[in-house]
Each structure stands twice: as C-alpha cells, then as structure tokens.
Amino acid sequence: MSIFEKTLAIYQKYHICVYCLGRMFSLLGTSTTNYERGSSILLALTMENHQKFLSSDKKEENYAKNLKILANKAKFIPAYKVLEKEGIDLPILQETEKCYLCNNIFTNLEPYAQQAINQIHNIEFDNFLIGCTFDSQIINKEDAFKVEFNLLESESIKSHFNREIGKIISSFLEKPPEFLNPDITFIFFINSLSFSIEVLMRSLFIYGRYNKYLRNIPQTHWNCRNCDGKGCEKCNYTGKQYKTSVEELISPVFISESHATDNKFHGGGREDIDVRMLGDGRPFILELRNPKIRTLNLSNIQKKINKKNRKKVKISNLRYSSKSEVKELKRSAEQTRKIYRAKVFSKEKITKETFLINLKKLKEALIGDKIKQRTPNRVSHRRADRIRQKSIYSIDGTYEKSNLFEFIIETQGGVYIKELISGDNGRTTPSFSDIFNTTLQCQALDVLKIYK
C-alpha cells in the first residue's frame, strides 16, 4: 500500500492528529518536522482526490467520499473547503474527538513545558535533557496500530515527545539541549489522563586533597555496628560508630554552598582510622548530589573548611572534576606510590648494632621483590580473603631506643603496613618480624606522601 492508501485506511477507522500522522512516516523524507510531513500528506491527498473528482465525468463518488474522510476524520480544513466549494454535502466536524494515539498531547504541549519550567526556579544550569515514560496502555495501543497498518517507517512517541518539548523549553529558557552530560534532566511520566515531572540534577564533582592530623577519625561516615545507623543506646542514638569523619568535617560547607541534597565521598584509597594523613594530602573527589548551584567559590570554601577544622583536617588543590575522574581515581589507587613513617615497638630489646644488621637484611629481603599479603584478620570480615602481591621500593630505619624504632617505607599502593611489620601470624611474608626474628608491632603510622 502507498502512503496515501495507508492514510485513507487509517482515517476510515481512526482519528489521529497531524503530528502523529507525520510520525507514522517519519523515516521518509528529511529536513522537516512530523507536523509538516503530516500536513503535506493530507494536502497532497486532498489535491489528488480533488483533481480526480474534477476530471471524472460522473463526478466519481469515491473521490468525494475520500475528501469527506479527510474533512471529517482527519479534520483537515483544506479538504472541508474543497467540499464546500464543489457544493458537496459537508460532514459534521467533530471537534471534540481526540487523537487515537496521543490523546491530543502534541496539539497541547505548552502545559507540559510550562510545568517543567516552573520546577527549575532557583536552579543553576547551562543545558538540559528531556526524557519520558509513557504508560503501557499508550505504548501497546501504538504498537498494535503500527502492526494493523503495516507502518514500518514510524518514529516512537517517546522520541517525538522529547524532541518537541525540548524545542519549546530551549526556546523559552534560551539554553541548549545536551545529550551526553546534561546539567539537569526533565523526566515526564505520562498516562492517558495526566502527567507528572521529575527533575534530576547532575551531580557536581569537586577534586581536592585532604590532610588528617588527628588519629581515630575515619575517612567516611560509619554506621553503628550495633544498630546499623538506626540509633541505639550503644551509639548514644547517633547511629554512628565514630563521632565524626573526614567526610563529615568537609562536606557540610559544600552542601550548604551548592544547595545539594547530600554527598558521596570518593577517596583515592583510605588510611586506617588511627593513621594520620600528612604531607600534601590524599586525593579525593566529593560528589554533590542534586546541586541547585553549580558555580562555587572554591577558594572561599577551602578557607572556610580549613578555618573551621584547624588542627583536625585541611583541604587543598580544589578544582572541578567529573564522574570519569572518579572512576580513574578508584582504578589507579593501587598504582600509586606511598611513603609511610612507622613507629615500631619490639617485644625484645635490640642493640643498635643488631638493629643496623637487621635493617640491611630487611632491605635485601624486601626491596625490589614482591611480598605476599593475605587479607589481614582485622579486615577479613569486609574484604575478600585472598593473597595480594605488592612491591616495596625503599626502607630506611632509625634506632631510637632498644625497643623503639622509626621506619620510612615507600611501597606500592594497597600494602598493609601494619601487617608488613608484624607478619599478621604468617599472613604477610616476608615481614619485618621475620627478618628481625622477634615480634614487632606498629605503634603509630603516618602517611607522608601519595603520588603516581
């Protein structure tokens, strides 16, 4: 069947709007709109039937019948005017009849666009994206319609709606659509009787480095182990395992300045709770969710946070980041190098001479070779129990007392330093305790530098 034959067949049974008619043939012809395409089909069909009607000696009734279908079912005014001019009985236009496919959505898009615009008051953004969900009744009806008339060149109602609403909103706001990484996304939920809109704001990512000067502060918030964050007597009904964290000291100012709903802290690895992070700090990316303000004074925020958390936490090197950099930060955490300072206690007293001999053995045994570390007992409840091979790059040691030493250790990211020293009951080999042939324990640990 030709386009004209299919169009007449459609209107003999259903009324669909001009927008939906054009959409049924949207893959045919380019550089036009569905409305223009639908109008052109109806106009060409009207002209063809008018011509055949005029050239027929007996004024063929079939052509007049086709014109009546176009006037009455398609509600195409030019067809109505032709019938009126030719003195043919006019059909009664049923103006209240709605489009069988879209229920007149495309003839009345302004309320959809206006409600979306009303929801973005005081939200800062440079671009947007439209998305939609139609209920199954509408989708199923359209699928059956396409099968019935063998419509193979059609466009989905979703893509048509997204494009047309996008044009209206873009024109009103004077902001462009963005398909890959939009600042905000309008999601329309549409059924045959009503619609609703959800506005999604793309997260804002801020990169920086943090120093942690106090021990016994975790990197991120921990729920109370006893109540899992619900609040109980053991945690004094705070829901927290620890009073605060690096995340909780840093994030409130960012949330306040950006008017975000919440945040997620992404660290480039993490130090233990009792380990200080010194030097030029550990890289992190703070993800601010649903921010209403995207342009932040990062220098001012940095000053506020550092002043408020003096001698606790310091942040530096703030800049805007991205979701892709979060992935890279996580992926490359174990590819970094780290320098640690460890205060080490010996169960047995050791002379300085013995210490220096053992330090030499330590370097010979560990530097340049892969140590083997099985997941430490202290973290095996939350990490996979497996053996990891890691590199040690340098070791320097200082003899302070007969049972107290200081070591500067440079390693590959991901090395468990405390277990490297103690041996963790044989789970790390070789270890400092193995080389010194006595029990060694890390009393205090600091991270001095993290770099690629």
Catalytic residue set: 272
Q: How far is CA 12 from CA 16, 61, 67, 204, 261, in A?
A: 11, 16, 11, 54, 54
Distance of alpha carbon 124 from the chain centroid = 18
Specify which residues 405 forms β-bridges with: 344, 399
Cα separation, 422 vs 399, in Å, equals 18
Contact assessment for residue 134 and residue 196, using Cβ atoms and an 8 Å cutoff: no
Cα separation, 450 vs 388, in Å, equals 20
User: CA-based Rg of the chain, rounded to a whole angstrom?
Assistant: 36
DSSP state of 180: S
Tokens of 237: 């009904």
Distance of alpha carbon 30 from the chain centroid = 34
Contact assessment for residue 254 and residue 206, using Cβ atoms and an 8 Å cutoff: yes
Cα separation, 271 vs 268, in Å, equals 10
Q: What is the dihedral of CA 343, 344, 345, 349, to 10 degrees?
A: -120
Q: Which is it for strands 313-320 and 337-346: parallel, antiparallel or unpaired?
A: unpaired
Cα separation, 273 vs 418, in Å, equals 13
Cα separation, 251 vs 249, in Å, equals 6
Interior/surface letters 371-383, b for 16+ CB within 10 angstroms, e for the rest: bebbbbeeeeeee
Other C-beta atoms within 10 Å of 152: how many? 10
What are the backbone dihedrals phi and psi of residue 432, each rounded to the nearest 5 degrees, phi first? -60, -40
3-state secondary structure of 187: strand
Other C-beta atoms within 10 Å of 191: how many? 14
Other C-beta atoms within 10 Å of 237: how many? 12
Which helix (H) or strand (E) element contains residue 446? strand 440-451
